[in-house]
Amino acid sequence: MKKPINVVVVISGSGSNLQTLIDQAAAININITGVISNIASAYGLTRAAQANIPTQVVDHTQFSDRTAFDTALMVAIDSYQPDLVVLAGFMRILTPALTKHYTGRMLNIHPSLLPKYRGLHTHKRALEAGDKEHGATVHFVTEELDGGPNVIQAIVPVADSDTEASLMEKVQEKEHKIYPQAVAWFAEGNLKMEHNKAFLMGEMLPPTGKRLPNDSSLAGTKQANN
């Protein structure tokens, strides 16, 4: 088996996506070398500490502007020597200097079927639009907010009875499948970004990214390759 890759996870909140990565780290061949939060009370920091993963808080309110914050954030991230940086519920907009520094090695998860509903309040917007399908997307991070090439999406059917809370729960359940999957592909060396496009095993992914079939659990190129 290949050497595990170093992954740094950057969070702002509960860290349920972080938890799935912690739980599956051995299976997907990653070593989470550090967890960084901009919020000191983020529960994800507790999850990391319970797993004996080093943590750091880089509090954005302590910096005069975005550039100063992002510079400190980069120093913190790089102190854990990441091969991959995983944004998991990190609620700050990043400067182009930072996104450029991590080009092709930074992923984000977003609670919508991108390119639909970039930014905030995605569940509310999907409900208000009367969408029959909603979901989650893992994408590479580029300068464009929630606009980098998609890696994988999972669809959630929207029921008439759904509320923002119920949709959020269903979407998160899917997030916990697609994020470890995307990270596993990256760890295997099968997922790459080139010229602003995502490639899986050398093949350019469609604009949606891969689609997780509705009833699928984690299954990847790793299993297929072995």
Catalytic machinery residues: 110
| Minimal distance, residue 215 CB to ligand GRF, in Å | 21
Establish if 14 lies at the interface with ligand GRF (CB under 6 A): yes
Cβ-contact 30, 222 below 8 angstroms: no
190 is in an annotated binding site: no
93 is in an annotated binding site: yes
- Identified binder of ligand GRF from the candidate list 24, 38, 153, 172, rule CB under 6 A: 172
Q: Where are the extended beta strands (E) located within 63-105?
A: 84-87
| Minimal distance, residue 224 CB to ligand GRF, in Å | 27
| Minimal distance, residue 14 CB to ligand GRF, in Å | 4
| Three-class SS state of 200 | strand
Residues 6 or more apart whose Cβ sits within 8 Å of residue 1: 29
H-helix or E-strand spanning residue 153: strand 150-157
Establish if 149 lies at the interface with ligand GRF (CB under 6 A): no
- Identified binder of ligand GRF from the candidate list 73, 109, 152, 205, rule CB under 6 A: 109
Establish if 180 lies at the interface with ligand GRF (CB under 6 A): no
Cβ-contact 153, 114 below 8 angstroms: yes
218 is in an annotated binding site: no
Part of the chain binding ligand GRF (CB under 6 A), chosen from 47-55, 93-101, 108-116, 146-154: 108-116
| Minimal distance, residue 87 CB to ligand GRF, in Å | 8
Establish if 16 lies at the interface with ligand GRF (CB under 6 A): yes
Q: What's the distance, CA 50 to chain centroid?
A: 21
The backbone torsions φ and ψ at residue 35, rounded to the nearest 5 degrees and listed phi first, read -125, 130
Cβ-contact 141, 172 below 8 angstroms: no
Establish if 162 lies at the interface with ligand GRF (CB under 6 A): no
Give the pairing of strands 133-140 and 150-157: antiparallel
Token duo for residue 184: 């596993």
Establish if 15 lies at the interface with ligand GRF (CB under 6 A): yes
Q: Footprint of ligand GRF on this chain (CB under 6 A)?
A: 11, 13-18, 44, 88-89, 109-111, 136, 172, 175
